[in-house]
Structure 1
Amino acid sequence: MTETFTHCALHVRDLAESVAFYESYCGLTIVKEHGEGAGRVVWLASPGSEKSFVLVLLGGGQEHVQDNDDMTHYGFSVPSRLDVDRIAERAKRDGCLHWEPRDYAPPTGYLCGVKDPTGHIIEFSYGQPLGPGT
């Protein structure tokens, strides 16, 4: 048997607000939805990854609180350092920047952290051996 990592599921405080965040900041698109009202579930994916990995959002979650030294996060790779800087500037304007851009030794690379509407930290990185910019 070979296991395959297919999805990550998050309870979010406001489903519509979270879907809009992940579409806007992360470039994800809705690939599947089911249920209604409080039972609505949304699957999001990066274009081209719809059949291999999805982020599942479920409404009704609690606010997630995390301090600056806690490195728990979900990671997205971007094609350049400039993209990390642009995302950080946007997040600063939007009031959701969690970690200023910073360099780390390989394989971590250059990154910033942004809070989603529930408080989960999303890392945007350049220079890791995963995704674009590798």
Structure 2
Amino acid sequence: MSTGNSVLTHIALPVRNLDAQLEFYAKYTNMKVIHQRVDEQTKLRTAWIANERDVTEEAARFVIVLIEGSLPRQVVGETMEEQYTFLTSISHLGISVDSRDDVDRIADMAREDGILLLGPMYRNEVVGYICFVRDPDGNNVEFSVEQVLG
């Protein structure tokens, strides 16, 4: 059953240190912060980041929402045990770049920073040329070129 014109708009990730995450994305991507706030009720710090080319004067097409802090009991209830879960194993964020040179450059930076997990390497005609990097919270981030999405 279709729900009409549904569109994926964001993914939200818990982070331990929002400033460290924003530094990571500023260094490794062309994403920019389009919104930041501290929620008065929950005290959660939030930043929305988006691809520069996807941001218009009105909005962005897709954002990653980074959230720092713990949800207060009045929001999650007394019985819910809050747990941070991270993108591990094969779970990852996928970021497309323009060339193999870009993947190599990112892999070199990540190697120097001690956060390169895999690659750079060519997997196949679907996956393309990739490297995997670990962000400050341990999430896996894949940088790729020549990847077929469809």
What TM-score, normalized by structure 1, do the two folds share? Answer: 0.86
**What corresponds to 1:58 in structure 2?**
67
Matched, 1:27 2:30: yes
Instruction: Give distance in 1, aligned partners of 2:49 and 2:132.
Output: 20
Q: Give the CA deviation at 1:99.
A: 1.0
How many aligned residue pairs are there? 127
**What corresponds to 1:84 in structure 2?**
103
**What corresponds to 1:16 in structure 2?**
19
Q: Percent of aligned pairs with the same residue?
A: 37
Coordinate RMSD, CA, aligned: 1.9
Q: Name structure 1 gaps, 5 residues minimum.
A: none
Report the residue type matching 1:54 in the other structure: V
- Which protein shows a greater Rg? 2
Deviations 1:21-80 (Å, cap 9, x if unpaired)? 1111111111011216951110001113132000100013758483xxx22110111111
Q: Name structure 2 gaps, 5 residues minimum.
A: 71-83
Match of 1:121 among 140, 145, 148: 140
Task: Tell me if structure 1 keeps the 8 A contact 2:103–2:130.
Answer: yes
